[in-house]
């Protein structure tokens, strides 16, 4: 018996990046309509970037559908992949694409830093631990939920499936670069997706790119390079996320002293591990509602930080050095600020491509004309220069503008 029932007719969702998102299988459609997946409508894709790029309000919901669509195209339009995978493997990898970010919390990556959690871990829990999604997958085929989670945690029997979802050239990155470039209005995030798709081949069960596709890949890596510097690591976006960090630090410290009641973020602040029911409640909406209440908080620091978040009174930043920090500390003290909540260092490193080494299975491989494969940093002078040139570090320190 075939477990994989098709929808009565193809379902389509309009999308500004891919034109249409196309759904042919009932199990995919059911997952999209589950409460857990719909929750992603309430989580924006980019934590603090909308403080810089005002249209960057797009959601994890849109991105997850986009990743699914790219995987669907890979398994139906790329001959080598279509011929190699079974119908079950195709559905598993499409589901893994759809669900790879299901475990994201509010404010995306900022939330992971604040709570010390990983969204992949939550994704696997939500897929496997008796949620509505587990039920949909298990009703479709027994054992399906584990197989989908295994792709996300890189434990799939067929490594090609994980490579399609999470490597240095995967459906996840291709969708978020194009989508984030579109919604931020930054043209340098764009690249030639169709050319990449046309040059994908499979060699020794590994995804490779034909030599003639090398320029499209260089373009893709450069787009990553620019998007990281201009959008993801923009100092103003980081400043907003740092403010979130300070607010939670203060709330946690107050709880430790048992001075305050904290109804809005109680489970998050007091428990080591959240139940999935508690986790479900956390999204950008509930967080923002909580922040709105905190502007009336009796603790002056909580109140001030919540007001700064609401009104976009972000921290200023400058290059960090010992001398600068010493000066800032003195100024903070004079102005009556507690440096614990009003000053912090932040360092980011930019590496648009990491060449192959033992623990890194996600490298990009080029299929040369003679049939051999070469890792891209050995086949492209552009990537070679990026890999062997200096890494770009950005070390800054945040502080209130009025000191
Ligand atoms: Ni993603």
Cα(101) to centroid(ligand 1), Å: 5
Query: What value does the mean pLDDT of the chain take?
Result: 92
Exposed/middle/buried for 266, CB within 10 Å: 0-12, 13-18, 19+? middle
Cα(298) to centroid(ligand 1), Å: 38
Cα(66) to centroid(ligand 1), Å: 9
Q: What is the pLDDT of residue 349?
A: 85
Cα(306) to centroid(ligand 1), Å: 29
Beta sheet of 344-350, edge-to-edge order: 316-319, 392-399, 344-350
Distance CA 152, CA 66 (A): 17
Q: CA-based angle 107:135:151, to the nearest 5?
A: 60
Cα(372) to centroid(ligand 1), Å: 31
**Residue scoring higher pLDDT (397 or 362):** 397
Report whether pLDDT(63) > 60: yes
Cα(40) to centroid(ligand 1), Å: 12
Label residue 390 by pLDDT band (50, 70, 90).
Answer: confident
Query: Which token pair is 196?
Result: 């990449």
- Nearest Cα to Cα of residue 134 among 251, 142, 279: 142
Cα(173) to centroid(ligand 1), Å: 7
Report whether pLDDT(358) > 70: no
- Which domains does the chain show, CATH number per domain? 6-185 (1.10.3210.10), 235-314 (1.20.1250.30)
Q: How large is the average pLDDT for residues 188-213? A: 94
The residues whose Cβ lies within 5 A of ligand 1, an ion, are: 101, 172
For 6-59, how does the pLDDT look when each residue is reduced to its tens digit (9 = 90+)?
Answer: 999 999 999 999 999 999 999 999 999 999 999 999 999 998 999 999 999 999
Q: What is the pLDDT of residue 296?
A: 92
For 235-245, how does the pLDDT look when each residue is reduced to its tens digit (9 = 90+)?
Answer: 999 999 999 99
């Amino acid at each position: 018996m075939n477990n994989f029932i098709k929808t009565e007719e193809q379902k389509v969702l309009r999308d500004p990046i891919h034109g249409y998102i196309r759904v042919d299988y009932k199990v995919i459609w059911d997952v999209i309509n589950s409460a857990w997946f719909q929750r992603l409508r309430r989580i924006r894709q980019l934590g603090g970037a909308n403080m810089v790029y005002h249209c960057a309000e797009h959601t994890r919901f849109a991105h997850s559908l986009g990743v699914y669509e790219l995987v669907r195209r890979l398994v139906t339009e790329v001959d080598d992949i279509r011929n190699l995978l079974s119908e079950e493997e195709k559905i598993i990898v499409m589901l893994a694409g759809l669900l790879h970010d299901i475990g994201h919390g509010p404010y995306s990556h900022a939330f992971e830093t604040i709570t010390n959690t990983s969204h992949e871990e939550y994704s696997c829990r939500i897929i496997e631990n008796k949620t509505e999604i587990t039920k949909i997958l298990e009703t479709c085929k027994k054992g399906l939920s584990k197989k989908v989670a295994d792709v996300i945690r890189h434990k799939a029997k067929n490594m090609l499936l994980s490579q399609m979802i999470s490597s240095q050239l995967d459906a996840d990155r291709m969708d978020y670069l194009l989508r984030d470039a579109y919604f931020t209005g930054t043209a340098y995030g764009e690249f030639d997706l169709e050319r990449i798709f046309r040059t994908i081949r499979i060699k020794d069960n590994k995804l490779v790119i034909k030599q003639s596709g090398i320029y499209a890949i260089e373009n893709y890596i450069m787009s990553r390079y620019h998007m990281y510097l201009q959008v993801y690591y923009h100092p103003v976006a980081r400043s907003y996320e740092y403010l979130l960090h300070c607010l939670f630090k203060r709330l946690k410290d107050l709880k430790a002293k048992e001075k305050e009641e904290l109804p809005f973020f109680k489970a998050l602040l007091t428990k080591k591990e959240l139940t999935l029911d508690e986790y479900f409640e956390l999204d950008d909406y509930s967080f923002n509602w909580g922040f709105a209440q905190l502007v009336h908080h009796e603790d002056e620091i909580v109140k001030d930080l919540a007001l700064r978040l609401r009104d976009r009174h972000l921290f200023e930043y400058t290059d960090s050095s010992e001398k600068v920090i010493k000066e800032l500390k003195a100024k903070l003290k004079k102005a009556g600020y507690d440096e614990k909540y009003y000053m912090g260092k932040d360092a980011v490193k930019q590496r648009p491509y990491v060449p192959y080494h033992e623990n890194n299975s996600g490298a990009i491989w080029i299929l040369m004309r003679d049939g051999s494969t070469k890792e891209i940093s050995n086949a492209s002078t552009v990537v070679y220069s990026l890999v062997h040139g200096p890494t770009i570090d950005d070390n800054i320190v945040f502080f209130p503008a009025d000191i």
